[in-house]
Structure 1
Amino acid sequence: MSTTIFKAGKSHTAPNTADRATDWRDAALCRSHPDPEMWFPKGTDAVSMANEAEAKRVCAGCPALMACREWAIESREDSGVWGGLSERDRYNLRRRGRSRNTEPAIRIVTFPSVKDAYEALTQKDGRHVLWNGGNEVKVGKARLTPNQVAWQATRRRTPVGRIFTDCETDGCVRHLNDQVIRQAREATRRATTERSAA
């Protein structure tokens, strides 16, 4: 869709972006963050360093982290935090001659509790709760999967066996089951089958 804007006898046609293909920027967590300036600290004072650390923490749980990082390195972006790397981090990578394929491994952010990890790395979407973090989260000294974090943050009992998702929505960590739930379902299914056979 193209829109023509009339102003003081001049007209301008806005670019047609309605049919634009989605890219990594559409999935970036910083797009919906209430303080986008946090990704562009203005110095090395305590407040700026705290903003940079918080921006990196949000980046660590972002699904677009690697694409954002690659873009910043390839385009030689010289300001702000991109893909969890500050301008200093990117400069040091370039100075050492490291390519994007030999970058250091992504650091896993450590959270003080499963509630903190759950609140930072999930987003409610109607009936679903979508995971926006990586495949592993560090809580204290323990490394947990997204399903383990979600279970522990929202349930009052310890899971039995492995935790699986019951949902076909990608990334949903709300609809989970463990061995107790699976066994109860199987018992209900068997009882229903026996009643219908009788």
Structure 2
Amino acid sequence: MTALHTTLKPQVPDTIEHSDRWREQARCASDRYDPEQWFPVGDNLLAQQQAEEAVAVCRACPVRTACLDWAMTSREDTGVWGGLTKKERAAIRRRKQRTPVPVPATRTVQQLARDAYDTYTVDVGGGHREWRGGPIRIDGVMHSPKQATWVAVRGARPTGALITQCGRRGCVTPDHQHQTRSTNGRKAA
């Protein structure tokens, strides 16, 4: 391993807290992967492919959320961390830094769901959007990412199971969502 590889590979200092031990379980820490893959240089096609490959490895990583939390908290501005590129993390930071607009008391559930959709989804290419985060509470009710998308676009909770027609795991693009027949006696839309 070259000196460059040693400096780029995520290091686990001896002084870290137990909560930072997630790095030891990260897929990228394996000798199976080239550490430079997580630090693409430039915006050319090769760098974009390199970043996409790193993101694909991150998607199956058991510590992806902890990794992303660390990168966002420490304001890491290089490389792929937690399945997001530096540009994606910067966009999230910018959204969080915006001054909140006063919210009128009469916001509808659909408006709240649309705000959540706009905040938590990112374009992953090929006409697909993915939800970055877990379930979300809208007006006191927990919604899965697919349910929140359905409410944001259609204004009502789904009455049946939601299926992603495009087959891409994690896709919440509204046009790719389909509702099966009702499983609880209500009529499906």
Task: Tell me the TM-score normalised to structure 1 length.
Answer: 0.42
Please say which structure displays the higher CA radius of gyration. Answer: 1
TM-score w.r.t. the length of structure 2 is: 0.44
